[in-house]
Amino acid sequence: VRPRVHVSEPVPREVDEALRREFDLVGTPQGADGIVSMLTVTVDDAYLEAAGPQLRVVANYAVGVNNIDLAAARRREVVVANTPDVLTGATAELALTLMLSLLRRVGEGDRFVRRREPWRFSLEFMLGRRLAGATVLIVGAGRIGRETARLAEAFGARPVLAGRGDDLDSLLREADIVSLHVPLGDDTRHLVDARRLRLMKPTAVLINTSRGAVVDEEALAAALHEGVIAGAGLDVYEHEPEVCEKLLPLKNVVLSPHLGSATRDTRIAMGMLCVEALRAVLLEGRTPANAVT
Ligand code: GLV
Ligand code: GLV
């Protein structure tokens, strides 16, 4: 018999077809041998319990696995896999997009034009800042952080990578742009809080394409209102899809709706990594290359 796989949300056609070639897709996690989960699904002990003891693999359609209780999965001998590498470029590009939009006031300018405000070209109008020459502090020296550093360097910026063990507080004082690329965990929740925001230069901006809760969003909104820092570019939110009300009226904030990996090719490649993980565990009895340990 073919293994039973539950997919928590619709996936691209190519991925759906690949899944159906090898597995029977079932409408509920209950009784499934494998699960493809999105980051919007909380896979905790109760979820795993409800799925049942036959469950052997959860393939998370994301690189971040903060929605999964890894300890509970380990106890139940359920393999967890994620989708690294294939979304690195797309996510780093989005971080650069937010930086440039913010520095060159593209979001603000777009809203201005759409409101049909009167304007004409003039020399002092809506002046921004160059990315070239800026010191970009990359918090998190993993795949996405390093790729973001590479792209920033290509724009003439000076990237500084901050990994575990580096003195974040002193690096924050020097940065013109702070870009977050750490996974969300107990050690990184509210990594950027009111105290650390005050360490940043008043001219500095914060970019977050990682997970919303890495930043204390209320504290960030307050800091932006008070001019503690100069702006923010956010793709992720602490209470996603809710966005802190106080961020909405601010000119110096660019907001995107969790689009880091949102290109078709990237999403297909992510899905194929999920299929690969299910195949490894359910059909070949081996640990997938993208297993999370
Ligand atoms: C997206 O946010 C991911 O973690 O893949
Ligand atoms: C600006 O539009 C320029 O041509 O310099």
For the chain, what is the HEC assignment? CCCEEEECCCCCHHHHHHHHHHCEEECCCCCCCEEEECCCCCECHHHHHHHCCCCCEEEECCCCCCCECHHHHHHCCCEEECCCCCCHHHHHHHHHHHHHHHHCCHHHHHHHHHCCCCCCCCCCCCCCCCCCCCEEEEECCCHHHHHHHHHHHHCCCEEEEECCCCCHHHHHHHCCEEEECCCCCCCCCCCECHHHHHHCCCCCEEEECCCHHHECHHHHHHHHHHCCCCEEEECCCCCCCCCCHHHCCCCCEEECCCCCCCCHHHHHHHHHHHHHHHHHHHHCCCCCCCECC
Verify that 75 and 93 share a domain, yes or no.
no
Q: 33 lies in a domain? A: yes
Verify that 116 and 251 share a domain, yes or no.
yes
| Phi, psi dihedral angles at 232 (to 5 degrees) | -150, 145
Six-digit token string for 234: 């956010």
Give percent above pLDDT 90 in the chain: 99
Verify that 150 and 39 share a domain, yes or no.
no
Domain extent, residue 52, equals 4-86+263-283
Ligand 1, atom 5, residue with closest C-alpha: 62
Verify that 107 and 162 share a domain, yes or no.
yes
The pLDDT value recorded for residue 164 is 92
Q: Rounded to two decimals, what is the model's pTM?
A: 0.96
Verify that 28 and 136 share a domain, yes or no.
no
Q: 293 lies in a domain? A: no
Question: How remote is the CA of residue 63 from the centroid of ligand 1, in Å?
Answer: 5
Q: 127 lies in a domain? A: yes
Which atom of ligand 1 is least distant from the CA of 60? Answer: 5
| Phi, psi dihedral angles at 64 (to 5 degrees) | -75, 135
> Does the CB atom of residue 261 touch ligand 1 within 6 A?
yes
The pLDDT value recorded for residue 73 is 98
> Does the CB atom of residue 7 touch ligand 1 within 6 A?
no
Which pLDDT band, with edges at 50, 70 and 90, does 186 fall under?
A: very high
Considering its fold, how many domains does the chain have in total?
2
Verify that 78 and 100 share a domain, yes or no.
no
Verify that 158 and 230 share a domain, yes or no.
yes
The pLDDT value recorded for residue 287 is 98
Q: What is the CATH number of the domain that holds 232?
A: 3.40.50.720
State pLDDT tens for residues 52-72.
999 999 999 999 999 999 999
Verify that 50 and 154 share a domain, yes or no.
no
CA count, 13 A, side-chain hemisphere, 167: 5
Q: 118 lies in a domain? A: yes
Which atom of ligand 1 is least distant from the CA of 83? Answer: 5
The pLDDT value recorded for residue 262 is 98
From the CA of 121, the nearest ligand is 2
Determine the residue of 11, 37, 87, 270 to mutate for testing ligand 1's pocket, defined as the one with the most ligand atoms within 8 A of the Cβ atom: 87
The pLDDT value recorded for residue 231 is 98
Verify that 104 and 195 share a domain, yes or no.
yes
| Phi, psi dihedral angles at 181 (to 5 degrees) | -140, 35
Q: 288 lies in a domain? A: no
Verify that 100 and 233 share a domain, yes or no.
yes
Which atom of ligand 1 is least distant from the CA of 270? Answer: 5
Verify that 279 and 152 share a domain, yes or no.
no
The pLDDT value recorded for residue 124 is 97
> Does the CB atom of residue 269 touch ligand 1 within 6 A?
no
Residue among 181, 211, 267, 279 flagged as catalytic: 211
Q: Which residue has the tokens 């909380």?
A: 42
State pLDDT tens for residues 132-158.
999 999 999 999 999 999 999 999 999
State pLDDT tens for residues 152-180.
999 999 999 999 999 999 999 999 999 99
ipTM attached to this prediction: 0.66
**Is 211 among the catalytic positions?**
yes
The pLDDT value recorded for residue 228 is 98
Q: 140 lies in a domain? A: yes
The pLDDT value recorded for residue 111 is 97
Q: 292 lies in a domain? A: no
Verify that 93 and 235 share a domain, yes or no.
yes
Q: What are the residues facing 205 on neighbouring strands?
A: 177, 231
From the CA of 123, the nearest ligand is 2
Question: Which residues are within 8 A (CB) of 54 and not within 5 positions of it... i.e. 6 or more apart?
Answer: 31, 32, 33
- Under a CB-based contact definition with an 8 Å cutoff, are residues 140 and 171 in contact? no
